[in-house]
Structure 1
Amino acid sequence: MKLAIGSDHHGFVLKEDIKAYIKQMGHEAIDYGCYSCDETDYPDVAFDVSQDIIREKVVRGVLICGTGIGVAIAAGKVPGIRAALCHDTYSAERAQLSNNAQILTMGSKVIGVELAKQVVYTYLNNEFKGGDSARKIKKIMDKENEFLQKI
């Protein structure tokens, strides 16, 4: 699977660990930055990852900042994106099975590296299957489109 991964400076160290883990699992990890612990604005990275998911350059993404909240909010501003903040494996599973989330977000100041790996593993090893959840996601996406048309 071709994946995007990105972070701000707070998430840089965890991003590097998760990027290596993704590659170890046999996936391709495209790094969208940041590339050091130098201050980086997370919205820039989140927008780039989100846009490339919409453009189908990558299949899914992982975004990391201090809490995971900022990158989730920024990513969700790109029409068509569903970003899920997950710090446990159950939420990561449901991000896919119930929400078909294209982006997993995490907070480096909230989660340790080993649990983060488990969360990523769970997220990547679950696939959306539709069912009742498809109807709910369609409602969300239809409402998003309705709002966009009113702007």
Structure 2
Amino acid sequence: MTPSETPIAIGSDHAGVELKAQVKQVLESAGHKVEDFGTHGPESVDYPDFANKVAGAVVSGQASFGVLICGTGIGISIAANRHAAIRCALVHDTTGARLTRQHNDANVIALGARLIGPEVAIDAVRTFLATPYEGGRHERRVAKLSPERAPVA
């Protein structure tokens, strides 16, 4: 997990706010710049608002990667994937985090705060950020997911 000059965008709804704070602290301790798009408290909020902010930061190049957290990770990952050029994967462990980077070139990771503990979540984020995309045999498939990489017909 080598820090880059481009920040990592992070966001959560109310269910993920505590886990987000823990992940953010670990990333900053490792030397990463982190742009926190909220939420910052337990008041009920709508997860698509935070998925949109994080996805927008990744698409624009303001952030190199995104980390999203809600109760299950499902809703926030669906919201993020509505953005062209976002490949957001809901992961539950380091294997999923590693494979989604290697095979899918995912640029956003989603976590379910009610489903995994902080140790697993932090290990998954570390693995996600440290794993390069393999390209090669995966490129054709990823191009079909990504308008900016799709072959010209």
SS at match of 1:98: helix
Residue 98 of structure 2 corresponds to residue 84 of structure 1: no
Instruction: Give the one of 128, 142, 145 matched to 2:133.
Output: 128
Deviations 1:57-83 (A, max 9, x none): 000000000000011000000111100
SS at match of 2:86: coil
Aligned to 2:101: 96
Instruction: Give the one of 45, 52, 57 matched to 1:52.
Output: 57
Deviations 1:17-57 (A, max 9, x none): 00001111211111000011111110000011101111100
Q: TM-score, normalised by structure 2?
A: 0.91
Equivalenced residue count is 145
CA distance in 1, matches of 2:38, 2:138: 33
Quote the offset at 1:129 in angstroms. 2.9
CA distance in 1, matches of 2:35, 2:145: 28
Residue 20 of structure 2 corresponds to residue 12 of structure 1: no
SS at match of 1:57: coil
Quote the offset at 1:131 in angstroms. 0.9
Residue 45 of structure 2 corresponds to residue 32 of structure 1: no
Q: Report the identity percentage.
A: 38
Give 4+ residue runs of structure 1 displaced > 2 Å after superposition: none
Q: TM-score, normalised by structure 1?
A: 0.92
Matches within 5 A, 1:108-123: 108-123=113-128
Aligned to 1:149: none
RMSD of equivalent CA atoms:
1.6
Name the amino acid aligned to 2:45: T
Unaligned stretches of 5+ in structure 2?
none
Name the amino acid aligned to 1:110: L
Name the amino acid aligned to 1:92: A
Aligned to 1:141: 146
